[in-house]
Amino acid sequence: MAGGVAVLGLLQIPRFFYDWTNPALGVAEVGSLLALPVLVFLLRYCLELPGAPGGLYRNVLDFLAMRSWYPALIAALIVLLVVPGVWFFHVDKELFSLLRIMGWPGALKSGDFRDDLDRVATLYQLALMGGIPLLFGLHMLSRWQTKRRFLVWLLLPIFFLGTAVAVVVIGTIAHFANN
C-alpha cells in the first residue's frame, strides 16, 4: 500500500518546491516514502523467522521484501530507476539550462521549470507503474525455473520493451481519461 501511494502521489514532491502541493497528498506522499524502507526491512526480518510461510506466498513476499532476488532482477530494477531520468535529461536539456541561467530560486518561479519537474515525476510514475508488474513476473519466473535462470537474463530485452509499451498504454489511457 505504501508503495502504491508513493508511486501514485509522486507529483507532490516536485510541487512541494514551488508551493503547489496539496497538504494532505504531500503528507501522504512523504509519509509513504518514509514508511516504505521501514516496511521492507520489517518484512525481511519477518521472513527470516522460523514460522515464515513457504511456497508461492513466500515467493510473493520475497519480491515485496526485495529479498533473494536473482541478479538479473536487480539489474532490471536499476535500469528501470535510471533510464527514465537519463532519457528525460537527454531529450529535454532545458531543465539544466534554466537552472544555470536563473538559479534555483528564479527557476522555481518559471512555469517551464515547473512543467519540467512535473514531467520528470510523471515519467517515473509511468515507468514504475508499467515496469513493476513485469518485474514481478520475471521474479516469479526466476523462482519457478531454478535450473534455467539464464532465461531471466534472456528476457530482459522483452522486459524493457514491455515496460516501454506499458508506459505508452498507461499514458494514453490517462490522457484520454481526462478528456
- Convert the pLDDT of each residue in 140-152 to its tens digit: 999 988 788 788 8
Domains identified in the chain, total number: 2
Q: What is the pLDDT of residue 157?
A: 94
Q: What is the pLDDT of residue 15?
A: 66
pLDDT, the chain, mean = 83
Q: What is the pLDDT of residue 119?
A: 80
Is residue 167 located within the same domain as residue 116? yes
Q: Which residues, 6+ apart, have CB-to-CB distance to 162 below 8 Å? A: 130, 134
Tell me the percentage of the chain whose pLDDT exceeds 70: 85
**Is the pLDDT reported for residue 163 higher than 90?**
yes
Q: What is the pLDDT of residue 5?
A: 67
Of 58-62, 105-109, 110-114, which one has max mean pLDDT?
58-62
- Give the pLDDT band (50/70/90) at residue 41: very high
Is residue 80 located within the same domain as residue 161? yes
Is residue 9 located within the same domain as residue 29? yes
**Is the pLDDT reported for residue 2 higher than 70?**
no
Is residue 16 located within the same domain as residue 80? no
How many alpha carbons lie under 13 Å from residue 171 in its C-beta half-sphere? 14
**Is the pLDDT reported for residue 135 higher than 90?**
yes
Is residue 114 located within the same domain as residue 165? yes
Cell of 25: 497528498
- Quick check: helix, strand or coil at residue 65? coil
Residue showing cell 531520468 = 85
What mean pLDDT is predicted for residues 14-26?
A: 70
Domain interval for residue 88? 69-179
Is residue 1 located within the same domain as residue 12? yes
Instruction: Tell me the C-alpha distance between 77 and 81, whole Å.
Output: 6
